[in-house]
Structure 1
Amino acid sequence: MNSPDDPNDAAYCELPTPKDQRAPSTRSSAPLDIRIDADSGRFVAEVAGAEAFIQYRYEGADVLHLIRTWVPPQARGGGVGALLAEFAMEHAREEGLTVTTSCWFIDQFLDASPQYQDLRAG
């Protein structure tokens, strides 16, 4: 199995399995401190003693490609991925970027978020 740190695995996107196959979890009400790690091309948050992240790269001057999402198993199902995705979308909006993705989770997030439809690259 691929790891979240494998830079050659552009299709890797690990988050919870579909809701009907997950164990219940408790959503945290604590704010999530998300930072941009430009050196590794990640939006990162520390959760449950590990890093959750969305890996990204720029495609040209105006497109942000969201490659993959990873949330530590012990933090899955608590909304961390959605908070990271929201942060990435707000970053794109602030920077005047459009977004492409190769991550199923980000695709689902965008499908469910009409407020970010304008960010989808043509």
Structure 2
Amino acid sequence: MARYTDVQQAAADGFRFAYEPDASRYAVYRSGAEGREDLVGEAHFSLRGSELIDFDHTVVIPELRGTGISGLLARFALLGPAASGRRIAASCWFIDGYLAKHPEILEEIAAQSGREE
């Protein structure tokens, strides 16, 4: 299976990343049989007031491990509208680890929200 480095590359292979505020999640879908889309991953969050977002659960189906889809989902969620203007908490071990491996994303988050970290 391919190793994905950006959302556009994944989209070319039938993946779609979505923000689903009513479900408090960011999701990734893969084009399936007969034109349907299958949910293959999600990054769930909880809003803690107006100033904090906690990413509390992230999962991608096992067959996609090692493809980069999890990392793309994490990045998509962290830079998404739910996190905009909020401090980030990560009680999910995957998001916490992603932030540790990619500290530059905190600068991108701060730049998006117009504040300095």
Which TM-score applies when normalising by structure 2? 0.70
CA distance in 2, matches of 1:81, 1:33: 13
Secondary structure of the equivalent of 1:39?
helix
Deviation at residue 92 of structure 1 after TM alignment? 5.5
**Which ranges of structure 1 fall in alignment gaps of 5 or more residues?**
1-24
Whichever structure has more strand as a proportion of its residues is: 2
Whichever structure has more helix as a proportion of its residues is: 2
Tell me which residue corresponds to 1:40: 23
Tell me which residue corresponds to 1:30: 10
Task: Name which structure has the greater RCO, CA cutoff 8 Å, separation 6+.
Answer: 1
Deviation at residue 94 of structure 1 after TM alignment? 6.8
Deviations 1:1-30 (A, max 9, x none): xxxxxxxxxxxxxxxxxxxxxxxx531443
* Aligned residues: CA RMSD: 2.5
Deviation at residue 112 of structure 1 after TM alignment? 1.1
Which TM-score applies when normalising by structure 1? 0.67
**Paired positions, count:** 97
Distance 1:106 1:94, change over 3 A: closer
